[in-house]
Amino acid sequence: MEFQDVVRRRRMVRDYAETPVDPAIVDRALENATHAPSAGFSQGWAFLVLDRPEDVRRFWTAQVEDVDDADAWLTGMMRAPVVILPCSSKAAYLDRYAEPDKGWTDRDEARWPMPFWHMDAAMAALLILQTATDAGLGACFFGVFRESEVRREFGIPDRYDPVGVITLGHRVDSSGAAGSPTRRRRTPWTEVVHRGQWGHQGSPSA
């Protein structure tokens, strides 16, 4: 698929067929994730991959209070055969930037204008979503609802924070519970671009 098509066609998918996913596609998505940019090439990410039905079931049991009381969103999402939790490690960034070529040996968090550890994991997550689209699959990024339960169930160490969850699978026609785009319009890019000066909008050709 052309890159422009991957970008434009990607949508969060919230309803899946139970058909298994080719493991090679999951591996490709994970390998692509590690090609995301990262501050100082810290690569302080990790990915918890759940691709066996029993593990996916364990995830949902930890993630929601009552899996047997599922609404349309949960019913569609729970069918996804693969669940990936991208995780970020602040400690990995503090360690990396204390190395000689960076030199922030005080490990002072005030030096960080943004939590780059979360940003980098999010960039990696987007590559997983785009790889799914490229492979003709569906995927959805969403939050960890019950973090301590999920951490405990899968032994996620303190050094890592799950930044979210990605479901991955074959989309079904309905594509699932209505997402916000059914209720909101996409803001035209010209409305969010400030060219040359904040408040100056549009493209040079406009």
Ligand X SMILES: Cc1cc2nc3c(=O)[nH]c(=O)nc-3n(C[C@H](O)[C@H](O)[C@H](O)COP(=O)(O)O)c2cc1C
> Which residues form the interface with ligand X (CB under 6 A)?
11-12, 14, 140-143, 164, 179-181
Q: How many residues does the structure list for the chain?
A: 206
Nearer to ligand X, 64 or 94 (CB): 64
Minimum distance between the CB of residue 14 and ligand X, rounded to whole angstroms?
6
Output the DSSP codes for 51-120: -SHHHHHHHHHHHSS-TTS--HHHHHHHT-SEEEEEEE-HHHHHHHHTSTTT--TT--GGG-SS-HHHHH
Nearest to 179 by CA among 131, 145, 146, 140: 140
Minimum distance between the CB of residue 10 and ligand X, rounded to whole angstroms?
7
Minimum distance between the CB of residue 142 and ligand X, rounded to whole angstroms?
3
Nearer to ligand X, 135 or 140 (CB): 140
Cβ-proximal residue to ligand X, closest one: 142
Tokens 């599922």 label which residue? 70
Minimum distance between the CB of residue 155 and ligand X, rounded to whole angstroms?
24
Nearer to ligand X, 125 or 156 (CB): 125
Nearest to 12 by CA among 111, 149, 157, 141: 141
Nearer to ligand X, 50 or 94 (CB): 50
Nearer to ligand X, 37 or 143 (CB): 143
Question: What's the CA angle centered on 133, arms 130 and 135, to 5 degrees?
Answer: 110
β-bridge pairing 165-169 and 138-142: antiparallel
Minimum distance between the CB of residue 143 and ligand X, rounded to whole angstroms?
5
